[in-house]
Amino acid sequence: MEMRKFNDVAYFQVGIARKYMRRHNLTPLQFVERDKQYRILHFLEIGYEPFHLTGDEGVLDELDEIVAEQQTASSEGVRL
């Protein structure tokens, strides 16, 4: 990945992570644990192109859906 795009993606991830923590009242450590489980930062990286045009609230809503789907699959014994 070229350096400029890498920087853009990293800046985007940090901004959304902060807003996600605020939305869910998480500490940074709690966010890291949730990220390990649900790969939130990974989804922000692979979805950067459409996400950065969506608007923060739309991205946060999408992340909530992704996490909820993974929680449901996990409770049913399915690995995504």
pLDDT digits (tens, 9 = 90+) for 30-49: 999 999 999 999 999 999 99
Nearby residues of 60 by Cβ (< 8 Å), 6 or more positions away: 16, 19, 20, 23
- pTM for the whole thing? 0.86
More confident residue, 75 or 68: 68
pLDDT band at 80 (very low <50, low <70, confident <90, very high): low
For the stretch 58-73, pLDDT in tens is 999 999 999 999 998 8
| The predicted structure's pLDDT at residue 52 | 84
| The predicted structure's pLDDT at residue 6 | 86
